[in-house]
Amino acid sequence: MMPCYAPSFCPYLVTPPSTSVHGGSHHRRPTKRNVTILYPKMSLNNNNNNTSNPNPSSLLTSLTKLLWGQSLPPGLLVSTARATWNATWRLMMSQLAPSDPSGGYARPASKFRLPQKNISSPTSLHLYVALPCPWAHRTLIVRALKGLEDAVPVSVASPGQDGSWEFKQANGPGLSPGLDKANRCRTLREVYGMRKGGYDGRATVPMLWDKDSKEVLCNESYDIIEFFNSGLNGLAHNPGLDLSPSELKGKIEEWYSVIYPNVNNGVYRCGFAQTQEAYDRAVNELFGTLDKLEDHLTTSRYLCGEKLTLVDICLFTTLIRFDVAYNVLFKCTKKKLCEYPNLHAYMRDIYQMPKVAETCNFSEIMDGYYKILFPLNPGSIRPIMPSTSEHEILCRPHGRESLSAALPVFVK
């Protein structure tokens, strides 16, 4: 890493140093003539009458010109930087994304599962989410479709620079990051730590919290959406909507066993792969499954037939992020989702259902991926959003009504 110069740095008062490359194996001392020509180029800004505000980028550019002129950096420096970055990257990835012996991403299991918990009161629930997260997005959609907004208040965390979830002053209307409404904590880790016995594991979203018992009820997304679907009908404004009817449970489980490892987690297996072999395996399974889904949706409006189910919600939250994040950042580059006509129309069909679009915050999604996942995007530069993911495009007619005679019941 190049040094960062303090504002008081003045090139005219410093004797040009001897430079070396990796242990002094190569030395080059500028001549007096070289100093006279090069030093004025190291002015801290373009205005020679104002040198009070140094420009670090200009300093680095001038320094590299001093060291090796217009040529590329010496090969030994490049190889040393590459080795150093590779070692640092592997260290950071080991914390961000644990891997198996082959270098494939091994997602840690959720620690808190709902079936083993006793809920003291349905009115004591509080949901913690973050808008970039597809797993948390599932819970927001089912909460909205079932009409549970009043019964289950929500606190929206945002990613901090170290990758942890934190709470900050609300910065926008509607569903946007804000303060912790239940416990007034600064970070989600603090909330987890409030439970009896404390907690030193990963503080993940979504997380369902019991305000009365001060306990983490669940941090497994699928448990939460099943509970929201059937466990709170007495408080729901739309109790008639059943996203997991008994006659379809077998199909739901069958489809989920396909989309979870290969699509939901599959995009992460691509993005977090730490070997070429692990990436190749994950990307082939991902696009093989997308091809299968594209064919299936030719004659079926939803995965299990004419009815929207929980497994559709689980697929949707990955699809809606595919072109804006996974295709680029996670190297899922074989195709964009918009190149799958049936899948893209299927995604638009769900997006256009009442209340669903309000749960999709593309600015937060893109910031959460491109500006926070430093090992994957060290420059933190966020690309422009693809036009096919803009609201106006997503609201275009999807034409899938002809595949279904029965429409789901929603509260507008």
Q: Where are the domains of the chain?
A: 125-235, 246-403
pLDDT in the model for residue 79: 79
- Report the pLDDT averaged over residues 266-279: 96
Element (H, E) at 64: helix 56-68
The domain 125-235 is placed in CATH, from the list 3.40.50.720, 3.50.50.60, 3.40.30.10, 2.60.120.1440, at 3.40.30.10
Judged against a pLDDT cut of 60, whether residue 12 lies above it is answered with no
User: Residue 158's beta-bridge partner residues?
Assistant: 166
Q: Strand 207-210: give its sheet, edge to edge.
A: 165-166, 154-159, 125-130, 207-210, 215-218
The larger pLDDT score, comparing residue 121 to residue 166, is at 166
- Would the CA dihedral through 7, 10, 14, 18 be positive or negative? positive
Q: How far apart are CA 298 and CA 72, in angstroms?
A: 53
Q: How far apart are CA 390 and CA 408, in angstroms?
A: 25
* Surface-to-core class of residue 200, CB atoms within 10 Å of its CB (0-12 exposed, 13-18 middle, 19+ buried): exposed
Give the position of tokens 């990835």: 93
Q: How far apart are CA 66 and CA 257, in angstroms?
A: 59
Predicted TM-score (pTM) of the model is 0.79
Q: How confident is the model at residue 218 (pLDDT cuts 50, 70, 90)?
A: very high
pLDDT in the model for residue 80: 77
CA distances from 1 to 42, 57, 60, 110, 204 (A): 19, 13, 11, 38, 32
* Surface-to-core class of residue 346, CB atoms within 10 Å of its CB (0-12 exposed, 13-18 middle, 19+ buried): buried
- 187 CB-near residues (< 8 Å, 6+ apart): 157, 160, 164, 165, 166, 167, 203
Is residue 369 flagged as an active site residue?
no
- Report the pLDDT averaged over residues 151-159: 96
User: Residue 155's beta-bridge partner residues?
Assistant: 128
- Report the pLDDT averaged over residues 168-173: 78
Which of 67-81, 128-142, 225-239, 292-306 has the least mean pLDDT? 67-81
Judged against a pLDDT cut of 60, whether residue 279 lies above it is answered with yes
User: Of 399, 406, 323, whose CA–CA distance to 360 is shortest?
Assistant: 323
* Surface-to-core class of residue 184, CB atoms within 10 Å of its CB (0-12 exposed, 13-18 middle, 19+ buried): exposed
Q: How confident is the model at residue 173 (pLDDT cuts 50, 70, 90)?
A: confident
- 335 CB-near residues (< 8 Å, 6+ apart): 287, 290
Judged against a pLDDT cut of 50, whether residue 194 lies above it is answered with yes
For 22-31, write each residue's pLDDT tens digit. 444 444 444 4
For 32-61, write each residue's pLDDT tens digit. 444 444 443 434 344 444 545 666 667 767
pLDDT in the model for residue 222: 97
Judged against a pLDDT cut of 90, whether residue 275 lies above it is answered with yes
Q: How far apart are CA 140 and CA 316, in angstroms?
A: 12
pLDDT in the model for residue 47: 46
User: Residue 99's beta-bridge partner residues?
Assistant: 105
Is residue 133 flagged as an active site residue?
yes
Give the residue ranges of DSSP H helices in 123-205: 134-145, 188-193
Q: Which of 133, 218, 314, 332 is catalytic?
A: 133
Average pLDDT, the chain: 84
Q: In this structure, what is the dihedral angle of CA atoms 66, 70, 74, 80, given to the nearest 10 degrees?
A: 80
CATH code, residues 246-403: 1.20.1050.10
Q: How far apart are CA 166 and CA 319, in angstroms?
A: 26
The DSSP call for residue 206 is S
Q: How far apart are CA 271 and CA 331, in angstroms?
A: 6
